[in-house]
Structure 1
Amino acid sequence: MLETPKGSRLHIGIFGRVNSGKSSLINALTGQDLAVVSEVPGTTTDPVKKAVELRGIGPCLLIDTAGFEDEGELGSLRLDKTKDAAREADMALLVVSAEEKPGEDTPEMRWLKIFRKRGTPVILVLSKTDLDAPLTWQAKSWQKLTGLRPVLVSAQEKNGLAELIEQINELRPENYDLDDITGNLAKAGDKVLLIMPQDIEAPKGRLILPQVQTIRHLLDKGCLVNCCKTGEMEAMLSSMKEPPDLVITDSQAFKQVEELCPKESKLTSFSVLFAGFKGDLPFFVASAKKLATLDHTARILIAEACTHQPLHEDIGRVKLPRLLRKKLGEKITIDIVGGKDFPEDLSGYDLIIHCGGCMFNRKYMMCRVCQAQGQGVPMTNYGVAIAALLGILGKVALPEQ
């Protein structure tokens, strides 16, 4: 890994009407022409994302979105993309042009309610303040309407950017950069053994992201780390003077590793760790119990964050469905979605099984969790589900943050 993974960055969404100055703002913040700036309405189509380092804040992901009031069929598609960007924003910059008149029935006020309902911190940015506009009156009116003190910014003149970055620093969520992947399962000095099958999903010369992040986390935590493939686990254990305090495996090797795991060692998986790191582990564990009550009539949704082409023996598209059919029968219905494709209506499903979400930030993952909970649909995680299907969930160590 050459830089901070996208899922571990502070996601800052930039929202506003068409041509409110969003693209100019992102260019001014980064000091680069990253977003197309044009007088033509609707120039920004899909959200433009840029990984940056903001002074005093650290690694961030800036998301430039299409306008609130985009028109036509294409505009509707753009608006859907903007709504999706709002789900992953740890923080929202609500951009209002100094030319716009304040009002209760405005798109800014409607979106402000959405952000507040989701608990997303919002900074109100009054843009284009270099124009000839009654700024004092505008700022006071917007502040009275929203309860937010606007930051007056001119991307053209580079004014107000320091104050904006200061507000971002003050309002950033405390848990956005939560990085204790193993929680209470590992502490400084603990011996940790990682079992990492290097199959087709891990291209030659590379490790998959959860493995990389977990190794770095354990090193930062001061743990003593050993790694091997599944076939070398027995030899690795024999070479160790004492049993490891913790064994972390890929979920697809759960059964084989569980059989070899010393009784003194705690056992978990990368997927289970990420269930706690990115999502709601207690909810996932409770939902996994639903597997014991399902039969051949079940309809299950498998969702993964990656959008890779299906691979031979792919865990989400091949191995997990195989386990489900072995447990529940060949006639069960399994739908599989990838990336940002996630149904709005989940009510037709008996259970959702999600990957660890290493490609998503916690905010986005929790939006999916809340969506499932709001519709009364159980949702679990690959590792938790596999452990339950194998009958070893009770033996798996669950992290507490």
Structure 2
Amino acid sequence: MNNTPVSERMHIAIFGRRNAGKSSLINALTGQEIAVVSDVPGTTTDPVYKTMELLPIGPVVIIDTAGMDDEGDLGNLRVEKTYDVLRKTNFAIVVVNAQEGITDFELDFIKKVKSRDIPVVCAMNKVDLRPLSGDDIIEIRNKVGIPVIGISSLLKTGIEELKKNISENAVYDDKDLSICGDLIKPGDFVVLVTPIDKAAPKGRLILPQQQTIRDIIENDAMAVVTKEYELKETIENLNKRPSLVITDSQAFLKVSADVPEDIPLTSFSILFARYKGELMEMVRGLKKIENLKSGSKVLVVEGCTHHRQADDIGKVKIPRWVRQLSGGEVEFEWASGNFFPKDIDKYDLIIHCGGCMLNKQEMQYRINFSKANNVAITNYGMLIAYVQGILERALAPFPLALMILEE
């Protein structure tokens, strides 16, 4: 449970006005003094993320947010960050001070949550100070249009009922997704090509490689891990041909040359474009490169932050490749980590990493937001395969994506 990546955990976010008892609710849910509790409004300033196990759900991330009624220039920035949390939320808890009752803040926010199809419950806190009858709960439920539970974070009453509601109503389908399970069958060999160079983390594999190995094993197949320079020998020494070869995108060209044409080949990045986002939309976005010219603007996005190497893929290689393909002085901007700009309509194309550090909810937000603003979006791995002339082969395991490419 402790080693489950944050991107694979259900994200449960707690929202409400200042001093509604959001932080004390986190402590009650977890049974630990995790969040700082104070009677001073605005104690929580930035979203606070806590990874834990919440039974009977399993590994989760609980997010404590600033008050929705925060004030002033700084307060408005905090509120904006609170609304940004919705992008990655799988289940929302709206906390209301039972002594003050429902206000327009909660009604407006609940409407926004429901418009995004995020399961949500209203927790009427501090019922130890303002008891609520069954009729009171029904009246509030009719007003807000979502389930309502009376709780006291101080006395821990109603907490088990709240946990039960989360467990029964949370929609979290990541557990049903597979990175490559539908491409293989039990007993298959899958070869993973993992270059070890100066950009590789010391002493471990990167997250997509770890997760893909786990996915292969869970589907009762066998993962064979090798570097690109030992790939040919690895395939020759297997007692049967691998059903799939998956490579780091930057080794695509050498790997493609060493893997026989009758063995399917793709990349971690392309698999994650499908696992986290929308593969078809990323293929459509790639075709936009043909229309770029001098003055076109491209946003390069990475879901993580890291120390950049001299020949960094996002800062150096991708701009160089795109300019070579377009034949013009294309302009580039960059975003990383949790930041994703809202003024994206100025860009002609967004080139996104595989998104292994983002949960599916956040990755879907970025894709849908791009589509809503008529901005094409594609993926690192597909761009690299396109540049190296092997995109059709890399997409061959996905016939529908290949059809879109050939349209």
Smaller-chain TM-score bracket: over 0.9
1:282-332 superposed Cα distances (whole Å, 9 cap, x missing partner): 111111111122223321110001111212322222222222122123611
Structure 2 stretches of 5 or more lacking a match?
401-407
1:373 is displaced (CA, Å) by 0.5
Following superposition of structure 1 onto structure 2, how do residues 1-400 of structure 1 map, counting pairs within 5 Å? 3-103=3-103, 106-136=104-134, 138-329=136-327, 331-397=329-395, 398=397
Post-superposition offset of 1:113: 1.2
Q: How many Å apart are 1:46 and its aligned residue?
A: 1.0
1:390 Cα deviation from its structure 2 partner? 2.3
Q: 1:365 to 1:159 in 2, by over 3 A?
A: same
Deviation, 1:190, is 1.4
* CA apart distance, 1:225: 1.2
| Distance change in 2, residues 1:279/1:244 (3 Å) | same
Report how far residue 112 of structure 1 moved.
0.9
Q: Which amino acid aligns with 2:227?
A: K
Residue identity matched to 1:347:
D
Q: Name the stretch that deviates more: 36-45 or 74-83.
A: 74-83
User: For 2:253, what is the secondary structure of its paired residue?
Assistant: helix
Q: Which amino acid aligns with 2:215?
A: H
The residue type equivalent to 1:85 in the other structure is V
Distance in 2 separating the partners of 1:399 and 1:383 = 14
- Give the residue type in structure 2 aligned to 1:241: N
CA distance in 1, matches of 2:145, 2:28: 26
| CA apart distance, 1:34 | 0.8
Contact kept, 8 Å, 2:192 with 2:245, in 1: the verdict is yes
Give the aligned residue type for 1:227: V
> What is the identity, as a one-letter code, of the residue corresponding to 2:72?
G
Structure 1, gaps ≥5 residues long: none
Q: Secondary structure at the match of 2:345?
A: coil
The alpha carbon displacement at 1:256 in A equals 1.4
Q: Is the 8 A contact 1:291 1:389 kept in 2?
A: no
Q: Distance in 1 between matches of 2:33 and 2:14?
A: 16
Tell me which amino acid in the other structure corresponds to 2:255: V
Residue 178 of structure 1, CA deviation: 3.5
Structure-2 separation of matches of 1:163 and 1:2: 25
TM-score (norm 1): 0.95
Give the whole-Å Cα distance in 2 for the aligned partners of 1:368 and 1:95.
27
After the TM superposition, which of the residue ranges 273-282 and 132-141 deviates more from structure 2?
Answer: 132-141
Moved more, 133-142 or 323-332: 133-142
Larger CA deviation: 62-71 vs 304-313: 304-313
For residues 81-108 of structure 1, what are the alpha-carbon distances to aligned partners after superposition, in whole Å with 9 as ceiling and x for unaligned?
Answer: 11111111011001111012335xx111
8 Å contact kept, 2:185–2:219 = yes
1:2 CA drift (Å): 5.6
TM-score (structure 2 length as normaliser): 0.94
Distance in 2 between residues matched to 1:386 and 1:255, nearest whole Å: 9
CA distance in 1, matches of 2:253, 2:107: 53
Give the Å deviation of 1:345: 1.3
Aligned-partner Cα distance in 2 for 1:97–1:137: 18
Q: Determine helix, strand or coil for the equivalent of 1:313.
A: coil
SS in 1 for 2:101: coil
- TM-superposition CA deviations, 1:100-141 (whole Å, max 9, x none): 2335xx111111111111111101111111113455454233
Equivalent in the alignment of 2:405: none
Question: 1:66·1:79 contact (CA, 8 Å) conserved in 2?
Answer: yes
Range with bigger deviation, 204-213 or 305-314: 305-314
Distance of aligned partners of 1:352 and 1:234 in 2 relative to their CA distance in 1, 3 Å threshold: same
Query: In structure 2, the residue corresponding to 1:396 is in which secondary structure?
Result: helix
- Per the alignment, do residues 327 and 171 of structure 1 end up closer, same or farther by CA in structure 2, a change over 3 Å counting? same
What amino acid is aligned across from residue 175 of structure 2 in structure 1?
D
The one-letter code of the counterpart of 1:86 is L
Give 1:391 shift: 2.4
Aligned equivalents of 2:6, 2:84: Cα separation in 1: 16
